[in-house]
Chains A and B, each alone.
Chain A
Amino acid sequence: MSVTAENITKEYIRESKGTNRFAAVRETTVTIESGKLTVLKGRSGSGKSTFLNMAAGLSRPTSGRIVYDDRDIYSLSDRELSRLRNEYTGVIPQGQSAIFSLSVMENVLLPFTLYRQDGGEQKARELLEKLGIAHLENAMPRELSGGELRRVSIARALVKKPALILADEPTADLDDENTELVFDLLKTAAHEGAAVLTVTHENGAEDYADALWRMDSGTLEVIK
């Protein structure tokens, strides 16, 4: 699936600043390519998460379009767009993102259960195994450390083998060994055909990147 941002801008209203409107992302046209791991770097507050959320269908651009193949996703109804996100998109949000009443396994299988679909257990076990938390399958989120919770949300984003993977600082609270593991996973997913975009501050990330972007005050620059 090709995912293209066509001239997207996201403006926010800010009471405190002199200018009321300011652009978190401005006039950006770029394609997240299938089969590639794209790394997005940039200072904190430069608009990376804003871009990623727009690409995920979670935040409507002020202007411009996000196009999956030929579909302008923000022209869809909320129901259709949600279904699309469930089917084609794996989002790894910033911070922890567990549902606390569900076990680790159930958290990972959430994209299936949300639409009453069966299956996914095998892929889920495989991912938990790779992420080194297979033994926590039946644990509840409150028993997990921050790094373990992080890996649960990574497994959840990948479990449906989505065509588009959007990761927002997925390794923020992981040690080097696990960081490497996660980048390996993302890389594998990309080479299996997914379009993968990850925001990161990790220094070694460039080594994994098939494409490298940099965000600066809302302006995106393609470096590689």
Chain B
Amino acid sequence: MKRSKNIAVRNIAGKPLRSAVLVILAALLSLTVCAGTLIVRSLRSGLDSLEARLGADVMVVPKEASQKQSFENIVLQGSTGYFYMDKSLMDKVTGRDGVGKSSPQFFLASASAGCCSIPVQIIGFDPDTDFTITPWIKRSYGGELGLFDVVIGNDLNAFVGDSIKFYGVDCRVAAKLDKTGTNFDTAVFTNADTIKQLIRASLDLGMNSFESLDPDNSVSCVLINSDGTRSPEEIVNDINVHVKKVRAFRTGDMISGISSSLSGVSDVIGVMIAAVWLLGLVILLLAFTMSVNERKKEFAVLRAAGASRGKLASVVMQEAVITGLAGSIAGALLGIAAIVPFSKAIENALGLPFLTPDIASAAVPAVMSVLLSAAVCALAAAVSAVRISRIDTALILRGDN
């Protein structure tokens, strides 16, 4: 291999230990920013995607559902559940002032199905009125869902064309949805007709706790958008006061809990990044100062051989930028490698929706953290570069006499 003639490159190669320390420090800096930014971004897009999936201003559920198997648990904790109310309640609710679009949903929890080692949440929607799930499904599946067609969440282990059995009924996987980073990723979606058949099958098998349920006259929840004349708040209050046996709530309230956990997590990450950077900056400053101090004589010799003051500074800066960039790039890649493949584990650990960006979007925080951390290395080195460019060559050259 041809050895570089560049003095900075040779200095880096000539002191592997010192260079390794600088590279590791730079890597640490960019790792924290890259990983931290990715986590915060993923949380934010998880929240956005949850908001989009909920997609309605107001939800109405049967009163007893708000205690035991609540909608929040299904959506936020990923537990499975089902609850029902009489269809006539839905008509009462949607008849209130200010209610614009509305659509019912139907829930069922599967016993273990072929695809899944754990029970999955089955959600049925009414294709005629639905305004929350259909737009999402449209992105993965252009056709209409027929009877016994299901659309499955991205995390489920089945593929388009597979057949899955729920309560002894064979269903066909028509499409697999985009990832959302929420618990909807482990859910199964069908149209209202299909889920009614499945509910009936569960009743026939004696595996549904609502023994006397009439599927044709029941719904699990109603999603409502305001028509603009009343605020969601007013609609919620109106329903809760005037319609018995149901509870209405704003989806925004559900999300605000997540929002505040998210900003808590962001704050913790911010503090951690700041701490690592402060420490990193101090260590970098020391490292460059030491590395330049122990080579004062070498710099004086360069000067005697004809190097200008600017050249000395440039050698120091080149050393810093080369090690800084190498470390920062390694750190950013490490950051991506530490977050992206483990998004499910992180989602579970944080208990928050977590949607990691694709590689192209992850590149933005990665590049940003590389630039930032390389810039900090350069800044730390600049102090030493300025000092070395001002050395008293004559004093150093007569030094060991």
A and B co-occur in one complex: yes
Residues of chain A at the chain B interface (Cβ within 8 Å): 44, 49-50, 53-54, 56, 58-59, 78-79, 82-83, 85-87, 89, 91, 93-102, 106, 110-111, 113-116, 153, 156, 168-169
> In the bound complex, do residue B13 and residue A110 qualify as a contact, i.e. CB atoms below 8 Å apart?
no
CA distance A5 to B113 in the complex (A): 98
Cβ-neighbour of B11 out of A59, A83, A95, A101 (below 8 A): A101
Of A58, A78, A89, chain B has the most CB atoms within 10 Å of the CB of A58
Q: Assuming the A-B contacts A49-B398, A95-B401, are A114 and B14 also in contact, with contact meaning beta carbons closer than 8 angstroms in the complex? A: no
Cβ-neighbour of B401 out of A56, A94, A99 (below 8 A): A94
> In the bound complex, do residue B14 and residue A82 qualify as a contact, i.e. CB atoms below 8 Å apart?
no
> In the bound complex, do residue A102 and residue B306 qualify as a contact, i.e. CB atoms below 8 Å apart?
no
Q: Assuming the A-B contacts A53-B397, A58-B397, A99-B301, are A82 and B7 also in contact, with contact meaning beta carbons closer than 8 angstroms in the complex? A: no
> In the bound complex, do residue B308 and residue A113 qualify as a contact, i.e. CB atoms below 8 Å apart?
no
Cβ-neighbour of B308 out of A82, A99, A153, A169 (below 8 A): A82
| Contact mask for chain B residues 32-52; partner A; CB cutoff 8 A; 1 contact, 0 none | 000000000000000000000
Q: Assuming the A-B contacts A49-B398, A113-B5, are A58 and B303 also in contact, with contact meaning beta carbons closer than 8 angstroms in the complex? A: yes
Give min CB distance, B253 to chain A, whole Å: 64
> In the bound complex, do residue B397 and residue A94 qualify as a contact, i.e. CB atoms below 8 Å apart?
yes
Taking residues whose C-beta sits less than 8 angstroms from the other chain, chain B's interface range is 20 to 34
Q: Assuming the A-B contacts A99-B298, A102-B7, are A82 and B394 also in contact, with contact meaning beta carbons closer than 8 angstroms in the complex? A: no
Chain B residues near A96 (CB-CB < 8 A): 400
Cβ-neighbour of B13 out of A79, A85, A101, A111 (below 8 A): A101
Give min CB distance, B35 to chain A, whole Å: 34
Chain B residues near A101 (CB-CB < 8 A): 7, 10-11, 13-15
Give min CB distance, B97 to chain A, whole Å: 82
CA distance A110 to B298 in the complex (A): 12
> In the bound complex, do residue B401 and residue A49 qualify as a contact, i.e. CB atoms below 8 Å apart?
yes
CA distance A110 to B310 in the complex (A): 17
B393 interfacial by beta-carbon distance below 8 Å: yes
Of B7, B11, B303, B304, chain A has the most CB atoms within 10 Å of the CB of B304
| Contact mask for chain B residues 286-329; partner A; CB cutoff 8 A; 1 contact, 0 none | 00000000000110111111111111000000000000000000
Residue of B at shortest CB range from A81?
Answer: B308
Give min CB distance, B380 to chain A, whole Å: 21
CA distance A168 to B401 in the complex (A): 11
Cβ-neighbour of B10 out of A82, A85, A102, A115 (below 8 A): A102
Chain A residues near B228 (CB-CB < 8 A): none
B399 interfacial by beta-carbon distance below 8 Å: yes
Chain A residues near B298 (CB-CB < 8 A): 98-100
> In the bound complex, do residue B397 and residue A110 qualify as a contact, i.e. CB atoms below 8 Å apart?
no
> In the bound complex, do residue A99 and residue B302 qualify as a contact, i.e. CB atoms below 8 Å apart?
yes
> In the bound complex, do residue B304 and residue A97 qualify as a contact, i.e. CB atoms below 8 Å apart?
yes
Residue of B at shortest CB range from A50?
Answer: B394
Chain B residues near A79 (CB-CB < 8 A): 308, 310
Chain B residues near A168 (CB-CB < 8 A): 397-398
CA distance A180 to B5 in the complex (A): 34
Q: Assuming the A-B contacts A58-B394, A85-B306, are A97 and B297 also in contact, with contact meaning beta carbons closer than 8 angstroms in the complex? A: yes
